[in-house]
Structure 1
């Protein structure tokens, strides 16, 4: 079996364990039962973390893990890792500090590698540092290197065994037992980053790991630099030691609180039947749902039905989620539909690949069904809010994304070309847009909140306003110039859409 498919199946099953478990914990009020479920959740999260580490280690060994060097703020990434262990430091009564002067400095580093190394070193430090001791992170520059240093005052490592702890599966009695997978991975990630790892340790005094990341561009190959040196979305690598307590959300809508009408139509494209069914069961109370086993089935559904949002798995047979997203966003009639991609891949390049083809969100498996639920609600409610609260603005001005502008620019162009054509019909409009009448109506309604007829009226009346402001033509002349066959019908439409009579609008600029 392909290793990627194996990891995909593992994460699907973990999602089907962790997500229902989180739902169950919200409705358990007995302390004993809640603590038992918390132990199960903790073990499932640890298993997820181990699977992710194993996949990364496998990619390193096979030469599949590539550097993506960016020039950005390393402090923010390390700070996020630092903060994820705050809860544990309080729980274990450990003095916990982070020192740096690099808050505002951009540096060269691979974001995913930096986060992985920081989390792994912190995990080891917390595991082997006793209550009342201390753990400190330092981030500084030294000899053209960025240095990440994690120090603890824990149990320490014997001198004669310090080199061996980087060997895979080597174990030291009563010491760094977990190093087999962790510290071996850290060393390989440091080597991948053309860096150096230095260990200083004494028994009962603690350990200090210093990671040196080269800051000269010549230290890296050209293909190791990420093309887009932008502020990418941070790839959060889950830490098995972060605070994972599932808090009961009293504000979560119950069955009696849920909006009584459906919030839109969601297309779920997922090849795993169990996971697809689980997502459907949990979203069915809020949305109309359509299901597809692969990207091809999803595209066939999109030809027949209007959809408000697509949730798709990255890995599927026939047409995968990435290709599906690309085809959806390239199609003029579907590119306005938001697409959420579910994936087991945590690396930045996989996320960037999804965003490059137009994905609106990237959700890493295993995921919380509640997070997916509220992300979807927020996306659809935001779109609805935009449509409802900007009805007095012309469509081309209010839709500010590139893909929606292209749709509306073409629609505006067609109406503008026929601005004085009194016989211009919706049928002709649809033909010039290369759509059916119903498809054109659905697309304009989805993007602008307006029907095809309303859209045409607003384009025409916008031009009428411009002509009235110029003062060169009579109201009767303008009514024919913008495609109305009688001045009285023009006046009625003007009053409805603009809010005043044409003569009143003209008098604002040319008082009698």
Structure 2
């Protein structure tokens, strides 16, 4: 494997023994960068954005738990799994600090290598799932928007027809009535009749706000044959009568 294709592992430690262990188990499978202690390690992690961090919990220049907490709380480094190396007595503290794994001596180089591979693979899978879900959601939202736009256009094209309703809409859009009900409820939380009424009332409001059209003509223009019934439904929608809106528009 080309060295540039290998995953990047950062070792934060000032222990010669750990350096040697890191080189021995990682050099054939990963690119390894080593840091001489805590503050330098944090700065380097933010700069190179490693695929995984190995940190000695007993680093002298900065507490290993503090390093782990900072790595996990920083958006630039929180993606990277962290393996803490330290005494068994501090295992709980290490895991509470956000470590993805905690290993105590004696270190088994084979086990450490497998843990590194597994954590990187798991991180890749999780990021892939997030991207897939975001893409699916984006596609779904796009489909939802197009579906609603098509329905609204159908209502506007037939807005003066008092008989235009769920059956005509389902027929024109090419789906069954039951599917239309389910999809519209899913996308808007409204029934088909509520959706149609909302569009009609919005159009009525626009016409009335011009101050030009009589109320009965506005009612007929949006598919209401009874102007009194239209006025009642309009008031339910906007809290005011069509006459009040028209009067204020003058």
Pick one of 467, 473, 482 that aligns with 2:207: 467
Report Cα offsets for 1:435-468 as digits up to 9, x if no partner.
Answer: 2212212222222121111100000010000000
Q: CA deviation at 1:432?
A: 1.9
Q: In 1, distance between residues paired with 2:124 and 2:160?
A: 55
- Segments of 5+ residues of structure 1 without an aligned counterpart are 1-60, 68-112, 126-151, 158-173, 191-196, 214-231, 248-342, 361-400
Residue in 2 aligned with 1:413?
153
Residue in 1 aligned with 2:230?
490
- Segments of 5+ residues of structure 2 without an aligned counterpart are 49-74, 85-92, 99-120
Does 1:453 find its partner at 2:193?
yes
Q: In 1, distance between residues paired with 2:219 and 2:125?
A: 59
Does 1:358 find its partner at 2:136?
yes
Contact 1:235 1:347 in 2 (8 A): no
Q: Normalising by structure 2, what TM-score? A: 0.59
Report Cα offsets for 1:378-432 as digits up to 9, x if no partner.
Answer: xxxxxxxxxxxxxxxxxxxxxxx54432121111111111111111021111122
Residue in 2 aligned with 1:480?
220
Pick one of 69, 75, 83 that aligns with 1:240: 83
Higher strand share: 1
Report Cα offsets for 1:355-378 as digits up to 9, x if no partner.
Answer: 574247xxxxxxxxxxxxxxxxxx
Residue in 2 aligned with 1:181?
25
The 1:439–1:419 alpha-carbon spacing in structure 2 relative to 1, beyond 3 Å, is same
Residue in 1 aligned with 2:9?
117
The 1:345–1:494 alpha-carbon spacing in structure 2 relative to 1, beyond 3 Å, is same
Higher helix share: 2
Q: In 2, distance between residues paired with 1:443 and 1:435?
A: 10
Q: Normalising by structure 1, what TM-score? A: 0.31
Superposition pairs of residues 151-162 of structure 1, within 5 angstroms: 152=14, 154=15, 156=16
Contact 1:237 1:346 in 2 (8 A): no
Structure 1 window deviating more from structure 2 (414-423 vs 498-507): it is: 498-507
Q: In 2, distance between residues paired with 1:233 and 1:456?
A: 48
Structure with bigger gyration radius: 2
Q: In 1, distance between residues paired with 2:174 and 2:186?
A: 17
Which secondary structure state, in structure 2, belongs to the residue aligned with residue 411 of structure 1?
Answer: helix
Which secondary structure state, in structure 2, belongs to the residue aligned with residue 240 of structure 1?
Answer: strand
Q: In 2, distance between residues paired with 1:442 and 1:458?
A: 18
Superposition pairs of residues 350-429 of structure 1, within 5 angstroms: 350=128, 354-355=132-133, 357-359=135-137, 402-429=142-169
Contact 1:475 1:487 in 2 (8 A): yes
Which secondary structure state, in structure 1, belongs to the residue aligned with residue 186 of structure 2?
Answer: helix
Contact 2:81 2:123 in 1 (8 A): no
The 1:175–1:463 alpha-carbon spacing in structure 2 relative to 1, beyond 3 Å, is closer
Q: In 2, distance between residues paired with 1:457 and 1:423?
A: 13
Superposition pairs of residues 25-174 of structure 1, within 5 angstroms: 61=1, 113=7, 116-118=8-10, 121-122=11-12, 125=13, 152=14, 154=15, 156=16
Q: CA deviation at 1:180?
A: 4.0
The 1:410–1:402 alpha-carbon spacing in structure 2 relative to 1, beyond 3 Å, is same
Contact 2:162 2:224 in 1 (8 A): yes
In the alignment of these two chains, the number of paired residues is: 186
Which secondary structure state, in structure 2, belongs to the residue aligned with residue 488 of structure 1?
Answer: helix
